[in-house]
């Protein structure tokens, strides 16, 4: 890099793209899009939670003989990543503390309910 020269600027001059306050129409469009997304999520959240619950509970997988097509066995398959996520999300990390900062003994587990 050359030595510093007074008045020498590396940046381009002029207005910066995207600088300044957004126009009212852009803000209204953004709010409308957020509302549409919120309605879509609220409409489809139960189907997503249902499939998540099925992943956690597990599903029955049937194994068949390739030659005869007879059922060999059935096993329950549980998605371990989904179970880990559910435990991390629903189970509290540690015992709640009282007003003095000491862990409470005999605390009970509270599970968050999906709203």
Task: Quote the pTM value.
Answer: 0.42
Domain annotation covers residue 110: no
Q: Which residues pair with 71 in a beta bridge?
A: 64
More confident residue, 63 or 88: 63
Tokens 């029955």 sit at which residue?
60
Residue 66 lies in a domain: yes
Domain that holds residue 46: 24-90
- The count of domains in the chain is 1
Does residue 58 contact residue 78 with C-beta atoms inside 8 Å? yes
**What end-to-end distance do the CA atoms of the chain give, in Å?**
59
Integer CA distances (angstroms), 72 to 19, 62, 63, 78, in order: 67, 8, 6, 20
Percentage of residues of the chain with pLDDT beyond 90 = 27
Is the pLDDT at 79 greater than 60? The verdict is yes
């Amino acid at each position: 890099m050359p030595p510093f020269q007074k008045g020498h600027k590396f940046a381009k001059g002029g207005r910066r793209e995207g600088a300044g306050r957004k126009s009212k129409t852009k803000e209204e469009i953004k709010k409308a899009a957020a509302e549409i997304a919120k309605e879509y999520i609220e409409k489809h959240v139960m189907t997503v939670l249902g499939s998540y619950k099925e992943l956690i509970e597990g599903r029955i997988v049937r194994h068949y003989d390739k030659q005869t097509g007879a059922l060999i066995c059935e096993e329950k398959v549980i998605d371990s990543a989904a179970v880990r996520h559910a435990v991390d999300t629903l189970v509290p990390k540690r015992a709640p503390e009282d007003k003095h900062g000491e862990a409470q003994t005999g605390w009970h587990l509270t599970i968050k309910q999906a709203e």
